[in-house]
Amino acid sequence: MTKISKSDIKDMLAKAEHLVLTVHVSPDGDAIGSMAALYEYLIGQGKSVTMVVDDEVPSKFHFLSVTAYIKDVSQEASILDGLEQPDLVVVLDASTRERIGKVAAWCQTPILNIDHHISNSQFADYLYLDAEAAATGEILADLFMTWQAKVTPAMANALYLAMGTDSGFFKYSNTTAHTLQMGAYCLEKGAQPDLVSEQAEEITVKALEGMKEALQTVTFHKDGHVACMSIPYALMEKVQGQTDGFIEWIRHVDTVDIAILLKEKEPGQTRVSLRSKGADVNRVAAVFGGGGHIRAAGCSISLPLEEAKKKLLEAI
């Protein structure tokens, strides 16, 4: 693993003719926005670029028109069989090799990883890691500004989505003066903050119905410092995986420091999201082989939901 500088990234991208871009599974706005912006930049440089993700792209990100070119290899693994090894694979917003799912096994090319997770496992051949950045999109905005690259309004929307997603639209503790400067840079380049936040925060009636049920599961622990919300498997089916924003409801409670959302993705498989106002939840997630950031992290526990919850509470 070689740590590289901003200008190294520019050179590496310039040298590669054919590139594959990918992001983590369960792609969020930072993953998709970052990939969309870098895709458009590289196309503008005359490159041949393919975007692959081992998951579906949530429909709320379809307003970024280039998402139509993202190949979902989760349903059709044969797409990867037919995909030539490029000169360079760029992995965005993913901190481990496992996080890119099936793309990891396919990839035999050097990997450039651009990321902002403090828990980054340094799996890539070339790494640009800025754990101070609120989002991978913030890193890319800074790169484009430094390189004086042409940033179209569509790219600006994508980068604004990326930063908005990971910073709670500039309200979490990871929001720095630099994050806001990059947000301003996006607006100068034509980003539409109202459009982006309306799209990113959009939910379906079904998801709201699911949220009503999820709220019934909320429990408090450790004198109200810890709150848990549970989405058992049956409820996961109902909400169709749309649980964005659920954790905010319990995070906002006055006594709560650590908010936990437990989702039973498959029976016996529990995906955990942790948010905090102060405590180091990256440490808690690491106990179960996960990670992320100090105030936002996640892990997967191979146990039914209730048992996973018990183990998790013991680790806090």
Residues that bind Mn ion (CB under 5 A): 30, 93, 135, 166
Instruction: Specify the residue, 167 or 242, whose C-beta has the smaller distance to Mn ion.
Output: 167
Report how far residue 108's alpha carbon sits from residue 188's, in angstroms, rounded to the nearest whole number.
39
Helix, strand, coil percentages for the chain (3-state, nearest 5) = 40, 20, 35
Q: Smallest distance from the beta carbon of 93 to Mn ion, in angstroms?
A: 4
Instruction: Specify the residue, 139 or 305, whose C-beta has the smaller distance to Mn ion.
Output: 139
Instruction: Specify the residue, 107 or 297, whose C-beta has the smaller distance to Mn ion.
Output: 297
Amino acid 58 reads: P
Q: Smallest distance from the beta carbon of 139 to Mn ion, in angstroms?
A: 10
Which tokens is 299 given?
Answer: 């892990």
Please give the residue whose beta carbon sits closest to Mn ion in the complex.
30
Q: Smallest distance from the beta carbon of 166 to Mn ion, in angstroms?
A: 4
Amino acid 111 reads: I
Q: Smallest distance from the beta carbon of 30 to Mn ion, in angstroms?
A: 3
Rg (CA), the chain: 19
Instruction: Specify the residue, 29 or 86, whose C-beta has the smaller distance to Mn ion.
Output: 29
Which tokens is 255 given?
Answer: 């006594």
Q: Smallest distance from the beta carbon of 142 to Mn ion, in angstroms?
A: 14
Smallest CA-to-CA distance from 137 within 96, 97, 169, 171 is with: 169
Q: Which residues of 177-207 are buried (b: 16+ CB within 10 A; e: fewer)?
A: eebeebbebbeebebbbeebeebbeebeeeb
Instruction: Specify the residue, 272 or 297, whose C-beta has the smaller distance to Mn ion.
Output: 297
